[in-house]
Amino acid sequence: DLSVSWLGLEMKSPLYNASGVMCRSVEDLEAMRASSAGALITKSCTLEPREGNPEPRYFATKLGTINSMGLPNYGYQYYLDYAQNYDYANNKPLFISISGMTLADNLAIIKAFHERELPCILEVNLSCPNLPGKPQLGYDLPAAQNALEKICEFYDRPFGVKLPPYFDVSHFDQAAEVFNRFDLLKYVTCINSVGNGLVIDVDAESVVIKPKDGLGGIGGDYVLPTSLANVREFVRRLPGKQVVGCGGVKSGAEAFMHILAGAITVQVGSCLYEEGVGAFDRIAQELKDLMAAKGYSKLDDFRGKLKTL
Ligand code: DHB
């Protein structure tokens, strides 16, 4: 039994897509809806449609991925329409990722969703790393706090935030102190890609993606230990909130690790991009097999029970 109940929602599996992967078009979203994923989340949306950065803007290596997509998306009204038409009673939960270019844009988008009173869950992206010249809110905690204060002046439903990875214990403390001020902030998703990596092709003596002279967000195997550390550290610091695990999940073993570290649910990014929605069946079966071998019948049997030495 892989079911998860949280935010008043029922999920048959803890696995779903990481925002950005398989979720930009209605066609993508419908493929996610038809898959065995436990939920789906949309591509981060902006006020206006965006084409994104020049290609190539995504590249996979043996160990993971690099991307600098530049927020290609159809604009928030497209995802608002999808959320308006979604048959919530007969489908998996729907999450909407929001990544306005400014605080004013974020507030306008969130207000538009608020006015429709839809049962989808908003996830505010504090960690979009691929806008040249823009710092990300997750690394500017006073700005993040101000944004959350403005959101909570009117938004009256549970919501989440997507976080960048943190690498310093004092930053876990400072970030958690901000998030703990907001009761309706019910969960954080850890982690977005590890920002501004550089993949080099030895034969070509070249970078592999065009934007930012080759710099991009790193995902896949490269980021698993960082994502697990962020999950475990935020679980410890955010009592009464949930942590969604994201980073380096490609089999049942990594999904198990995230949940053992305390994750309520687990997102799949790089692996989903490379394998397609069949990854959800495979990873779920591997997770079930691993649980059976260990004598666990449900996720609560081991969630957050990571041992220390
Ligand atoms: C993009 C990348 C991200 O990591 C993110 O959180 C949002 C958008 C992008 O480049 O499209």
Q: For 221-251, write each residue's pLDDT tens digit.
A: 999 999 999 999 999 999 999 999 999 999 9
Distance 194 CA to ligand 1 centre (A): 11
What average pLDDT does range 66-91 have in this prediction? 98
Nearest CA to ligand 1 atom 11: 71
Tokens found for residue 1: 């039994």
Separation of alpha carbons 68 and 52, rounded Å: 9
pLDDT digits (tens, 9 = 90+) for 178-206: 999 999 999 999 999 999 999 999 999 99
For residues 224 and 245, is the Cβ–Cβ distance under 8 A? no
Give which of 59, 109, 101 is closest to 79, Cα–Cα: 109
Nearest CA to ligand 1 atom 4: 128
Distance 191 CA to ligand 1 centre (A): 12
Distance 183 CA to ligand 1 centre (A): 26
What average pLDDT does range 79-98 have in this prediction? 99
Q: Give the β-pairing of 4-6 and 159-163.
A: unpaired
pLDDT digits (tens, 9 = 90+) for 109-128: 999 999 999 999 999 999 98
Separation of alpha carbons 84 and 82, rounded Å: 5
Domains defined for the chain, CATH in brackets: 4-52+71-194+221-301 (3.20.20.70)
pLDDT digits (tens, 9 = 90+) for 165-180: 999 999 999 999 999 9
Question: What was the pLDDT predicted at 138?
Answer: 97
Which residue matches tokens 């823009």? 134
Question: What was the pLDDT predicted at 132?
Answer: 62
Distance 72 CA to ligand 1 centre (A): 9
Q: Select which of 23, 45, 120, 128 is catalytic.
A: 128
Atom of ligand 1 nearest to the CA of 57: 10
pLDDT digits (tens, 9 = 90+) for 33-45: 999 999 999 999 9
Residue 16 DSSP class: E
Q: From 65, 99, 134, give the residue whose CB has the most ligand 1 atoms within 8 Å, as the site to mutate.
A: 99
Alpha helices per DSSP H over 138-277? 141-152, 169-179, 224-237, 252-260, 270-275
Atom of ligand 1 nearest to the CA of 125: 6
Nearest CA to ligand 1 atom 1: 71
Nearest CA to ligand 1 atom 6: 128
Complex ipTM value = 0.96
Alpha helices per DSSP H over the chain? 26-34, 76-85, 103-116, 141-152, 169-179, 224-237, 252-260, 270-275, 278-294
CA 259 to chain centre: 15
Question: What was the pLDDT predicted at 271?
Answer: 99
Q: Between these two residues, 130 and 237, which has the higher pLDDT value?
A: 237
Separation of alpha carbons 97 and 86, rounded Å: 16
128 is catalytic: yes
Separation of alpha carbons 133 and 252, rounded Å: 38
> Which residues form the pocket of ligand 1, taking CB atoms under 6 Å from any ligand atom?
20, 44, 52, 68-71, 99, 125, 127-130, 192-193, 217
Atom of ligand 1 nearest to the CA of 192: 4
Q: From 51, 130, 139, 218, give the residue whose CB has the most ligand 1 atoms within 8 Å, as the site to mutate.
A: 130
Atom of ligand 1 nearest to the CA of 99: 7
What average pLDDT does range 267-282 have in this prediction? 98
Distance 31 CA to ligand 1 centre (A): 21
